[in-house]
Amino acid sequence: MNAISKKSKIIFCLFVLLFLFSNHRSFAGSDRGPKVLMFTEIDVNYLNDTIKTWGEKAGINGFMLTHIADWWTPRNQLFENMEILKEMNQKGALYGVDRNFIKVALGYKKLPDWTDDKAWAVVIDNFKNIAELARQTGTRGVALDAEPYEVPFYNSTEAPAKNTLTDFLKTKIRQRGMQIMEALESVFPEIEIVTFPEGALYWFNPEQGPNPKEAELWIDFFNGLAAGRKKGRIILAAESTYSKTGKDEITKTYNLIDKTMRDHVEDPKFWREKCSLAVGMWPLGKTYTDKSARYSVENFREQFSQSTALSPEYVWIYDHGSAWFQLTNEEIQKYTANNHSIWDKETQILPTDPLIREYYRVVKTRGALK
């Protein structure tokens, strides 16, 4: 009787483990491959209500969340998002959507001059608040968009860098990167950091981009981030791979980015041991008003397969506007109640590509098989 009972217990335990394993595989991003992030303009309230779909149907593991925080956002405004972020993260964890990041872009408005210590003290305090919001809400970390959209702040011959001695300017840019990282870690030591784009690639390999001068001093900013990173890693998210779909060209670009960083970072050991590349993809959304495919499902499948093979921790998808989802008029009304705003709602109600579910399936199937 005891032998039979013991055997029954073993069979029952094996059954439970098999069930848990198969259930785990059905959700996005198993532990056997990189997690899939999406940069998107999705409204956090809409995301909260649809997060099960994103995990189970689309295979997304996390979002770089826009319109939550900017480098100038005051604390009281920032923490208006605390409850919805907390709920969204708790709910998302049930479906594998547990790698969410607060996106902060440096390139909008006029970033203070690198040499203005007083103005930068305010910016650094704001980053501390952002880290606190991430920690309190269970958000994974910060996605730092370091592209100079409105002001060429890495260009030594343009304002706000113009007329500043280059060596001094490089020192101040490095200092700001270090201050940002130290501020984030001081509040949230385990915070994960993703930053993009890969500025060094364009400056040291000018044939790779149209305006290499705009990335001239980017490496100094990255060196500052690295110098301030004491507890964890830095993920460098690549944009130069957006439209590369062939296995060989993706690999070539990936290796060139890695080599450029190894050759030019201040601390090659930190790059080797504490950093990794995340390949970026842009399959859908020709324009904000045209959500159709930029390349076929077959091309995306090849791109996604090679990107996940190369990237050790994350890959990411750039959702140009709202190319990967569509809100209804009723949803627009729902989520704009109480004076809540949705970014470019006129385009968010436009239809997605007719094969959108096939693009979902590429991400989901690949994730489930890892």
CA atoms of 167 and 159, how far apart (whole Å): 16
**231 lies in which domain range?**
31-369
CA atoms of 157 and 165, how far apart (whole Å): 10
Q: Is residue 187 part of a domain?
A: yes
Q: What's the pLDDT at 39? A: 98
Q: What's the pLDDT at 23? A: 34
Please check whether residue 230 is in contact with residue 270, taking contact to mean a CB–CB distance below 8 angstroms: no
Q: What's the pLDDT at 326? A: 98
Please check whether residue 154 is in contact with residue 107, taking contact to mean a CB–CB distance below 8 angstroms: no
CA atoms of 272 and 318, how far apart (whole Å): 26
Q: What's the pLDDT at 338? A: 86
Cis omega (within 30 of 0) on the bond before 74?
A: no
Q: Is residue 167 part of a domain?
A: yes
Q: What's the pLDDT at 365? A: 78
Q: What's the pLDDT at 12? A: 42
Q: Is residue 20 part of a domain?
A: no
Q: Is residue 10 part of a domain?
A: no
Q: Is residue 8 part of a domain?
A: no
CA atoms of 200 and 133, how far apart (whole Å): 30
Best CA proximity match to 301, nearest among 212, 365, 256: 365
What single-letter amino acid sits at 15? F
CA geometry: angle 295, 299, 302, nearest 5 deg: 150
Q: Is the dihedral of CA 296, 297, 302, 303 positive or negative?
A: positive
Best CA proximity match to 190, nearest among 135, 128, 236: 135
Q: What's the pLDDT at 166? A: 86
Q: Is residue 142 part of a domain?
A: yes
Q: What is the mean pLDDT of each successive set of 10 residues along the chain, which is 370 residues long?
A: 49 39 35 88 98 96 97 97 98 96 96 95 98 98 96 84 79 97 98 98 93 94 98 96 98 98 98 98 98 98 97 98 97 93 96 98 67
Q: Is residue 17 part of a domain?
A: no
Best CA proximity match to 335, nearest among 40, 50, 39, 38: 50
Tell me how far apart the terminal alpha carbons of the chain are, to the nearest angstrom.
41
Q: What's the pLDDT at 210? A: 84
Q: How many domains does the chain have?
A: 1
CATH of the domain at 328: 3.20.20.80
